[in-house]
A and B are shown apart, each in its own frame.
Chain A
């Protein structure tokens, strides 16, 4: 199929999803698609090898491109067009991919439901009253709705795995540093990872291979080859899989439990050895995250000051301070404001040791928990991705902490910089259930190889009960 034809099809699918009220896109246009397709078709005719030739990929709208706006779903960046291209999107384009659209997200990637977008929430493709998860809800919904086969999102505290689990698609977070952050609008710099959604493990792997690899423009990028899982693994003989007891609490949602039980049984049948393990500091992961991420965010978002770009407002006093305060007061939504203020508070004089330094030490303990378990010969961990299936819109917005608790099974991974993914393993009362694999640092390939095997065996959309 020519890129031109793909562009037409993709545009039609995007138009349909907009008409359906999915609200998963913040920017797309047929002209943009057609222009890109023209370039791809010319390159293909000229004999260039394009690994992702004309594959449409959605881009979370916190990844910058020069030919579309990047708003981070915030009023403060309404209309902003970056004058440089992110490394991730540049690599996609170099491989011949078609950037389908910029997708909706929680504002500045802060949230777990995409309800905190300044441009309206995203609807869950299977139930419009429910959320697709967040912060990369738009990208997850577009893949789940079949509009695109793959999408980029970003993770800071589970923002790709959690919506992948809610939406029933594959969501892959690489080892921190294996994909360049250059051009990803920073939220929590020591946690942020460009991550990938796919209909299948293979789709996600192909995209991840293209975007990963060292980047001289990102001093935190690792000197490692692109992620390239081997094909051909037939079963899980010789693989030791750990089940951390802290991720299987007695009151775990019954549907989630059933989905995991089915997956564990399948994994055992494939020849894996299952062992019980413990990650004792798990319950401190979310509170640790909610000190470190807001602290880093408070500095990362200081550049949004109305001076050089973005929307500007000036208060009645008419001086520079009132420019800052009015711009940021009007431009940031309530969740962003809360996090920037909490972050400012925990870094401020007199509080730094008690909060930020303490949190960094607890983070060290959490990372050490994983290292200790992997050091005993466990190859991978298998856990639920989320404590529940997709919740209803409005259910968790009144109390910020209740929203944070959606991330209890995903946050520790970001704190420890590990690779992890969510795989759809069934449905509970019609809603997707996700299982999570966590690998040791830099073992992304093993994780993807094992996930591909499980995917072949465990039906993704079958009722679990």
Chain B
């Protein structure tokens, strides 16, 4: 499977990363190289039925349903690029996709 311009642009759209036209060719070449490299896994033929490996505990540990308010060392307003009236702010345009 070769990865070309269209796939790279599609991935950039999904990942919300701007790619300038002048960088695109080099990026496509590099990504094609990487994808061709990782595709050598196609050679592995003895993986049928292998359970995917996962480290850590065999089952998830749960938490009791107790409220413990976080003691934030700095208020959220300190870290926010744009914050007013208690809200994080972003441009309005383009956010109303799923609301009336």
Q: Is B44 an interface residue (CB 8 A)?
A: yes
Give Cα A431 to B70, complex, Å.
Answer: 48
B contacts with A: majority SS: loop
Are A309 and B81 in contact, with the CB atoms below 8 A?
A: yes
Q: Is A108 an interface residue (CB 8 A)?
A: no
Chain B residue numbers with a CB within 8 Å of A328 are: 15-18
Contacts of B11 in A (CB 8 A): 341-342, 344-345, 348
B41 and A359 within 8 A (CB)? yes
Contact between A281 and B44 (Cβ–Cβ < 8 Å)? Answer: yes
Residues of B contacting A325 in the complex (Cβ-Cβ under 8 angstroms): 16-18
How far does the Cβ of B87 sit from chain A's closest Cβ, in whole Å? 11
B15 contacts which chain A residues (CB < 8 A)? 298, 302, 328, 340-341, 344
Do B17 and A337 have beta carbons less than 8 Å apart?
Answer: yes
Q: Is the CB of B34 within 8 A of A284?
A: no
Assess whether A177 is in contact with B57, with CB atoms less than 8 Å apart: yes
Contacts A190-B55, A325-B18, A364-B50 hold; do A219 and B60 have CB atoms under 8 A apart?
yes
For window 41-91 of B, CB contacts with A under 8 Å fall at 41-44, 46-47, 50-57, 60-61, 63, 70, 72-76, 78-82, 88, 90-91
CA distance A260 to B51 in the complex (A): 35
On whether A190 and B54 interact (CB within 8 A), knowing A312-B82, A323-B91, A358-B47, the answer reads: yes
How far apart are the CA atoms of A315 and B46 in the complex, in Å?
Answer: 48
Contact A290 B38 (CB under 8 A): yes
- Chain A's closest residue to B49 (CB) is A361
Residues of A within 8 A of B74 (CB): 66, 81, 83
A residues 196-248 in Cβ contact with B at 8 Å: 216, 219-223
> A399 and B33: CB pair below 8 A?
yes
Interface string of A314-356 (1 = CB under 8 A from B): 1101111111111011101000011011101110100100110
A397 to chain B, nearest CB (A): 11
Query: Which of A287, A341, A354, A415 makes the CB contact (< 8 A) with B17?
Result: A341
Once the chains bind, are A320 and B91 in contact (CB under 8 Å)? Answer: yes
Contacts of B60 in A (CB 8 A): 219
Residues of A within 8 A of B33 (CB): 399-401
Given known contacts A84-B73, A364-B47, A400-B33, is B14 in contact with A344 (CB within 8 Å)? yes
Does A404 lie at the interface of the complex (its beta carbon under 8 Å from any beta carbon of B)?
yes
CB-defined contacts of A322 to chain B, threshold 8 Å: 94
A319: B residues at CB distance < 8 A: 91, 93-95
| Interface pair B56/A220, CB less than 8 Å apart | yes
- A416 engages B73 (CB within 8 Å): no
- Say yes or no: A66 contacts B38, CB within 8 Å: no
Q: In chain A, residues 302-316, which have Cβ atoms closer than 8 Å to a Cβ of chain B?
A: 302, 305-312, 314-315
Asked if residues B90 and A320 are in contact (CB atoms below 8 Å), the reply is yes
How distant is B84 from chain A, measured CB to nearest CB, in Å? 14
Apart from A291-B38, A310-B81, A360-B53, 15 more pairs, CB < 8 Å: A190-B54, A223-B61, A284-B43, A298-B15, A307-B90, A308-B79, A308-B88, A309-B80, A330-B18, A340-B15, A341-B15, A348-B10, A359-B41, A364-B50, A404-B37
Binding site for B on A (CB under 8 A): 66, 80-85, 175-177, 190, 216, 219-223, 281, 284, 287-288, 290-291, 298, 302, 305-312, 314-315, 317-326, 328-330, 332, 337-338, 340-342, 344-346, 348, 351, 354-355, 357-368, 399-401, 404, 415-417, 441
24 A-B contact pairs sorted by A residue (CB < 8 Å): A83-B75, A83-B76, A83-B78, A83-B79, A216-B61, A219-B57, A219-B61, A220-B56, A281-B44, A284-B43, A290-B38, A306-B81, A319-B91, A320-B93, A321-B16, A326-B18, A328-B15, A330-B18, A341-B8, A348-B10, A355-B41, A361-B47, A362-B50, A401-B33
